[in-house]
Amino acid sequence: MLLLKRLFEYRELLYIFTWRHFTVRYRNTALGIVWAIIQPLVMMFLFTFLFTYVLKTGTGDIPKEVFFYASLLPWTFFSSSINYSTSSLVGNYGIITKIYFPREILPLSGILVAVIDLLIASVIYLFLLIIFKITLTFNVLWIIPIFILLFIFTMSCSFIFSCLNVYYRDVGLLTRFVVRLLFFASPVLYSIDSLSLKLKLLLFFNPLTFIIENMRRCVLEQRGVVLWQFAFAATLVIILFFFAHKLFIKTEKDFADVI
């Protein structure tokens, strides 16, 4: 793959940027990496409260706490990656105009930090699984290919948004809005099982629908993944990735001139 080829020579730089971003983020904070847990945890409590006392809709047999936490993990990964990476090129103006390296490194290092955050926040997930006595089966392993899909999807969106933001700063504002819309168009608060078939089919064009729904199912409901659905989501994501990376490379040469 072109991306890997481009990055191979610069893998240490990618590592350094990730380390730098991670260190800078948590330095001089009293709570440090606990912040990685706070966001999904607070949201989880908020949703649990809302859906227990205000809206009173259920999440089936699954305790609300685990249900929401399970969907908030991939969602938080996606949204914080996008929020960071959209401004990653514009924000590193000083480096871009002074030195060459494959520019993908900038958005990517933000996504890798989000991976670290996700891993930290997953510790709480494990506790929740134990507290609510969820038994796991081998279907849990599905989480790995689905996460890879999520990673590629997030990367594609980051490439598109970050490079367009170099030309039009509107993109930064637009993405915040798009991310908020996507939150409701993805099964974070609900399960698609409860939707009509038409709506289900429509939502399946958002790869996050498949990703979030199945990351939750394979752990909490011990269900496997429907193969054709996986194939469909994977195809969408891969096509998007090739388009996104092409756009990124095509525009990369102009970054230093127009930024």
Partner 1 sequence: MDKENLVELKNIWKKYKIIGKFKKSLRESISSFFKEKEEIEDDEFWALEDINLTLKKGECISIYGPNGSGKTTILKLISSITYPTKGEINIKGKVAPLISLGAGFHNDLTGRENILTNGSILGMSIKEIKEKEESIIEFSELDRKFIDMPVRKYSTGMNTRLGFSVAVHSTAEIILLDEILAVGDEKFREKCHEKIKELKETKSIILVSHHMDIVRSIVDRIVYIKKGKIVEEEEIKKESRQN
**Cβ closest to partner 1, residue 16 vs residue 136:** 16
| Dist. CA 149–CA 143, nearest whole Å | 10
User: Which string of b and e fits 169-196 if b means at least 16 CB within 10 Å?
Assistant: eebbeebeebbeebeeebbbbbbbeeee
Convert residues 150-179 into a mask of x (bound to partner 1 by CB under 8 A) and - (unbound): -----------------x------------
Is residue 61 near partner 1 by the rule CB under 8 A?
Answer: no
**Cβ closest to partner 1, residue 13 vs residue 203:** 13
Is residue 35 near partner 1 by the rule CB under 8 A?
Answer: no
Residues 6+ apart with CB under 8 A from 135: 222
Quote the tokens at residue 225. Answer: 């993944």
For partner 1, which stretch binds (CB under 8 A), given 58-66, 83-91, 191-199, 250-258?
A: 250-258
Convert residues 220-239 into a mask of x (bound to partner 1 by CB under 8 A) and - (unbound): --------------------
The single residue among 100, 138, 177, 228 that binds partner 1, judged by CB under 8 A, is 100
The single residue among 2, 24, 141, 144 that binds partner 1, judged by CB under 8 A, is 24
- Residue 111 near residue 148 (C-beta atoms within 8 A): no
Ranges of beta strands (E only) in 45-131 are none
3-state secondary structure of 255: helix
Quote the tokens at residue 47. Answer: 């949703």
How many residues bind partner 1 (CB under 8 A)? The answer is 23
Is residue 28 near partner 1 by the rule CB under 8 A?
Answer: yes
Is residue 98 near partner 1 by the rule CB under 8 A?
Answer: yes
The single residue among 27, 56, 133, 198 that binds partner 1, judged by CB under 8 A, is 27
Q: How far is CA 57 from CA 49, 63, 166, 182, 190, in A?
A: 11, 12, 43, 21, 9
Q: Which residues bind partner 1 (CB under 8 A)?
A: 12-13, 15-16, 20, 23-24, 27-28, 94-101, 167, 250, 253, 256-258
